[in-house]
A and B are shown apart, each in its own frame.
Chain A
Amino acid sequence: MTAMRRWLLTMVVAALGVAGAPARAQQAPPSVAGTTSTGDWGWLVLGYGVLVGGSVTVYGLTFDCSDSNTSCQRKTSLLIWGGAGIAALASAVGISIVQSGRQHVQVTPVAGADRVGVAVGGAF
């Protein structure tokens, strides 16, 4: 199972890389070249998280274990639900980033390059 573990680690590291991306992006100044929203990064987190988590789950579903092989069942179940956990966490975080992006700062060019409208919204 060393290969499987290595594969799982690769997937998790990939997920971490994706999850870390919006944080770095959020710290960058907003672009005025077009409509930019921090919420867009939420869709990326959600999309990649579901992709990675879903892949792990599907990979786990490709295994089948005999009734007596508890060790195989144990590892397979971890793949199935570990993937679901990654997808769920990424979805929850991604959606919250999308929602916060919609409620907070949105920079939109209004007319050409000399006027920039800034709309600040949200509950607080």
Chain B
Amino acid sequence: VRPSARTWLACCLSSSLVLAPSTPARADPPSPWPLAPVDYDAPDPDRNALNYARAVANFTLSNYAVFQGSWLFGNAWSYVTRSSIEQTLGSDLQLDYDPLHTNLLFHPLQGSLDFVSARAAGLSFWESALFPALAALEWDYLAERQIYYPAGWRSKPSTNDFLTTATAGIILGEISYRLSSVLLDEASSGGERVLRELAAAIASPMRGINRLYTGEAWQSGPPPLRSHPVSVALDVGVDQLRTDKTYAPTGLIAGEISYGDLLPTNHDDTLDPFEFFELYGALNPGSSQLSGIQVYAQGLLYGSSTAPSPDEQPDRRDNDVFGFVQNFDYQGANLATYGDLSVGPANYAVWRFGARRKLRLGFDVDWTYLAATTSPFATGTNYNFSTGGAAGIDGRLELGPCGTLSLRSRNYLTQVLDGKGGQEFVGYERLAYDVHVAWHLGLGLAPILAYRRSMFEGQSVAQTSLEAQAYLRVEEGE
């Protein structure tokens, strides 16, 4: 570490040590009466201009933290000066071809911090939705130097960074915020409270920071209102890939979260944003063919359900929800790496036959407003940006002790942007069968069929792969 960096680190550390004890002076004594549960996802009912100002301060703090990390790692693009800022401010937005994982995974994750910056400041979902865009503008114009690359493109300001941060930050941010709410319980104390606060801060770092500097992290409060069923599963196993040749099995670590049951919570039978979402993430350590991270998320932005039948039990009530969904899909395998951001109408039909017995069928047709796909026809880089349409099918059959059968199908057909021409078609079908064995343990098997086709000036390159996952599942939740 250079001396200047060491000095800065020491200053930051001492600053945090002095600031930390400055806030808990308002710690309340625990209430002698049990408090009614409250919804931890609800916005501050008394929010005003100060909440908005705090949201701006939060995302600036978040951008500063990302800048500081980049600066410490010696990334030259973070060395902004007055003249570099003036140059960026005077330039038009363009597509930049930074590594695909930077553009389609890291920027969305950065956007999620910006979104939670606003949510943690007490704003509602829709109020917070604007803040990743503001933070993206701040980052693009003020926090990165404009760099010209030999392939003929420059880095900043970047259209794709703005889009990914501003929009994918919403879906990943709200998911992380709601998951942190699931973990928090202000009525708990002692070691359990510490663990809950830590886990919530890991799930949603900006919320953790907010809870630290406001003192909420150690305040006694009402317990959470648990109105949405949540199931979490961690899979550990092996993954084998086959294309025109068969690869050796590799390790698999995956996580799957299902939130909400699609039953309406409002009196008018509507569902609020992200009262239902699904998140799947997988990692194949030690593989050059599958390397990488896969992240898939789909969340309901708005839903309208069929009218309730008063004579039906909740676990036997069928309903149909029509609404709009937001999707985030990143497939980081080397054989075909791509990221897709899409939004569109969706319909879910749910038939419930009793406890842990139901069939859910979902279908969505989306506008893929930004996609990035590795392509043999890409020039200057190894991938193309594109835009187009997507279709998805989501199916889940829960059969109680006999296990759960689930299907996820995603297909994207997009037109290449930036004047390069051509089309990209990518898709996959993942079928999974999971069965509960004992306690919180289960076993699972999931074949995945993936395919892609790149088309350019009458030429076409296609590729298909078959993947099989076998895993031990640790599961928790309803």
User: A25's closest neighbor in chain B, by CB?
Assistant: B25
Q: Do A81 and B64 touch across chains, with their CB atoms under 8 A apart?
A: yes
Q: Do B11 and A74 touch across chains, with their CB atoms under 8 A apart?
A: no
Minimum CB–CB distance from B35 to chain A (whole Å) comes to 7
Q: Do A81 and B23 touch across chains, with their CB atoms under 8 A apart?
A: no
* Chain A contacts with B in 29-75, Cβ cutoff 8 A: 38, 60-65, 70, 72-75
List the 9 closest A-B pairs by CB distance, nearest first: A85-B64, A23-B22, A26-B25, A73-B79, A91-B57, A88-B60, A88-B61, A92-B57, A96-B214
Q: A64-B82, A73-B79, A76-B79 are in contact. Are A81 and B4 (CB under 8 A)?
A: no
Cα distance A61–B220 in the bound complex, in angstroms:
44
Interface of A is mostly: helix
Cα distance A98–B65 in the bound complex, in angstroms:
24
Stretch at the interface among B13-21, B176-184, B377-385, B427-435: B13-21
Known interface pairs A23-B25, A64-B83, A98-B50; 20 further A-B residue pairs with C-beta atoms within 8 A, sorted by A's residue number: A8-B11, A9-B7, A16-B15, A26-B22, A60-B82, A73-B81, A76-B81, A77-B80, A78-B71, A81-B80, A84-B63, A85-B61, A85-B65, A88-B57, A91-B54, A91-B57, A95-B53, A96-B213, A123-B221, A124-B31
Minimum CB–CB distance from B451 to chain A (whole Å) comes to 44
Interface of B is mostly: helix
User: In the assembled complex, which residues on chain A have CB atoms less than 8 Å from the CB atom of B470?
Assistant: none
| A–B complex contacts, Cβ < 8 Å, 27 sampled | A1-B4, A12-B11, A15-B15, A19-B15, A22-B22, A23-B22, A23-B23, A23-B25, A60-B82, A63-B81, A63-B82, A72-B81, A73-B80, A76-B82, A80-B81, A81-B143, A84-B63, A84-B64, A91-B53, A92-B57, A92-B210, A93-B213, A95-B50, A95-B53, A96-B23, A122-B28, A124-B222
| A100 interface hit (Cβ, 8 Å) | yes
Q: Do A12 and B15 touch across chains, with their CB atoms under 8 A apart?
A: yes
Minimum CB–CB distance from A14 to chain B (whole Å) comes to 11
User: In the assembled complex, which residues on chain B have CB atoms less than 8 Å from the CB atom of A100?
Assistant: 26, 214-215
- Fill in one digit per residue for B57-74: 1 if any A CB lies within 8 Å of its CB, else 0: 110110111011001000
Minimum CB–CB distance from B216 to chain A (whole Å) comes to 9
| B250 interface hit (Cβ, 8 Å) | no
Q: How large is the interface on B (under 10, 10 to 19, 20 to 34, 35 or more residues)?
A: 35 or more
User: In the assembled complex, which residues on chain B have CB atoms less than 8 Å from the CB atom of A99?
Assistant: 50-51, 54
Q: Do B79 and A74 touch across chains, with their CB atoms under 8 A apart?
A: yes
| B76 interface hit (Cβ, 8 Å) | yes
| B353 interface hit (Cβ, 8 Å) | no
| B126 interface hit (Cβ, 8 Å) | no
| B8 interface hit (Cβ, 8 Å) | yes
User: A13's closest neighbor in chain B, by CB?
Assistant: B11
Q: Do A78 and B4 touch across chains, with their CB atoms under 8 A apart?
A: yes
Q: Do A93 and B23 touch across chains, with their CB atoms under 8 A apart?
A: yes
B residues adjacent to A (C-beta < 8 A): 4, 7-8, 11, 14-15, 18-19, 21-23, 25-26, 28, 31, 35, 50-51, 53-54, 56-58, 60-61, 63-65, 67-68, 71, 76, 78-85, 143, 145, 210, 213-215, 219-222
Cα distance A27–B79 in the bound complex, in angstroms:
42
Q: A82-B8, A92-B58, A124-B220 are in contact. Are A70 and B79 (CB under 8 A)?
A: yes
Minimum CB–CB distance from A8 to chain B (whole Å) comes to 8
User: In the assembled complex, which residues on chain A have CB atoms less than 8 Å from the CB atom of B51?
Assistant: 99
User: B54's closest neighbor in chain A, by CB?
Assistant: A95
A residues adjacent to B (C-beta < 8 A): 1, 5, 8-9, 12, 15-16, 19-20, 22-23, 26-27, 38, 60-65, 70, 72-78, 80-82, 84-85, 87-89, 91-93, 95-100, 104, 122-124
Q: A5-B4, A96-B23 are in contact. Are A77 and B219 (CB under 8 A)?
A: no
User: In the assembled complex, which residues on chain B have CB atoms less than 8 Å from the CB atom of A80?
Assistant: 80-82, 85
User: In the assembled complex, which residues on chain B have CB atoms less than 8 Å from the CB atom of A16?
Assistant: 14-15, 18
User: In the assembled complex, which residues on chain B have CB atoms less than 8 Å from the CB atom of A26?
Assistant: 22, 25-26
Q: Do B78 and A93 touch across chains, with their CB atoms under 8 A apart?
A: no
Cα distance A63–B85 in the bound complex, in angstroms:
12
Minimum CB–CB distance from A33 to chain B (whole Å) comes to 21
Cα distance A23–B72 in the bound complex, in angstroms:
31
Task: Tell which of A81, A93, A123 touches B68, judged by Cβ atoms closer than 8 Å.
Answer: A81
Minimum CB–CB distance from A21 to chain B (whole Å) comes to 8
| Residue of A70, A81, A97, A104 with most partner-chain B CB within 10 A | A81
User: A101's closest neighbor in chain B, by CB?
Assistant: B26
User: In the assembled complex, which residues on chain A have CB atoms less than 8 Å from the CB atom of B35?
Assistant: 124
Minimum CB–CB distance from A39 to chain B (whole Å) comes to 10
Cα distance A77–B80 in the bound complex, in angstroms:
5
User: B72's closest neighbor in chain A, by CB?
Assistant: A78
User: In the assembled complex, which residues on chain B have CB atoms less than 8 Å from the CB atom of A85?
Assistant: 60-61, 64-65, 67-68
User: A103's closest neighbor in chain B, by CB?
Assistant: B46
Minimum CB–CB distance from A86 to chain B (whole Å) comes to 8
Cα distance A15–B192 in the bound complex, in angstroms:
35
Cα distance A76–B81 in the bound complex, in angstroms:
6
Task: Tell which of A9, A20, A77, A96 touches B79, judged by Cβ atoms closer than 8 Å.
Answer: A77
User: B186's closest neighbor in chain A, by CB?
Assistant: A124
Q: A38-B25, A81-B143, A92-B213 are in contact. Are A5 and B7 (CB under 8 A)?
A: yes
